[in-house]
Structure 1
């Protein structure tokens, strides 16, 4: 049976980071520890960030691997990490919501576009960042998918 793309164990609330690299490693670590990716995927996420930032505006970043990182993906997965105090993604871009993605084939593109739609509304990003529970985050993300 395929793993759930987003389960409660993929969500972490109220985490603090000193740097963008630490934040990306943390997000990748969740995907790794929960069996979505091989260890090398985390390096590919950092590589991807060097090519172009995954900061999307509205205090949101969507770290993911490079195009050639697909072979490091075991299952399509999603992780959500809230950073209430924010982490600097460079150029004064402060990120409070991290959505890490590992996609097999093109499956992740649909997920990416759904997240982009949800998070294009600043109030949704605020709701997610201020969520008091993992269930609340899943509810907000699932409401929009319904």
Structure 2
């Protein structure tokens, strides 16, 4: 379940980011600090975005920073970062990005059910209201738990 991937300390609210690269680094830092990914994993996300374009921008205002498992995904985890000021990613259809869901999966299958739950949340307008108005990380995590 999605709530099992997300810990309270992986949720950051109203973070300042100077550009898309800074936003990725900041969104990934809780997973790095929590031992779920390596620094190489973060570098690979950025390198791939530089060479392939903003592949991580999955829908309006939403990015899903991730990289292939072999580049330093140590455990199944997801962080949620909301930005104080949305940033341009280069994806004209979905910019600016305001919400980042940094993900780490240790294989190609264990995260699939959780991803389906995330897709459902991303089609729920109330979820965006929760992201925008949350006073503390548990406000978001509790909403996710309630919807499961």
TM over 0.5, shorter chain: yes
What is the TM-score with the length of structure 2 in the denominator? Answer: 0.84
Matched residue SS, 1:47: helix
Q: Does structure 2 retain, via aligned residues, the 8 Å contact 1:58–1:120?
A: no
Tell me which of 58, 63, 66 is aligned to 1:64. Answer: 66
Aligned pairs (5 A) from 1:23-102: 23-50=23-50, 51-53=52-54, 54-65=56-67, 67=68, 69-70=69-70, 72-92=72-92, 93-102=95-104
Give the aligned length: 140
Unaligned stretches of 5+ residues in structure 1: none
RMSD over aligned CA atoms reads: 1.8
User: Equivalents in 1 of 2:106, 2:16: separation in Å?
Assistant: 29
What is the TM-score with the length of structure 1 in the denominator? Answer: 0.85
Unaligned stretches of 5+ residues in structure 2: none
Query: What stretches of structure 1 move > 6 A for 4+ residues in a row?
Result: none
Change (3 A) 1:59 1:123: farther
Matched residue SS, 1:14: strand
User: Equivalents in 1 of 2:137, 2:84: separation in Å?
Assistant: 15
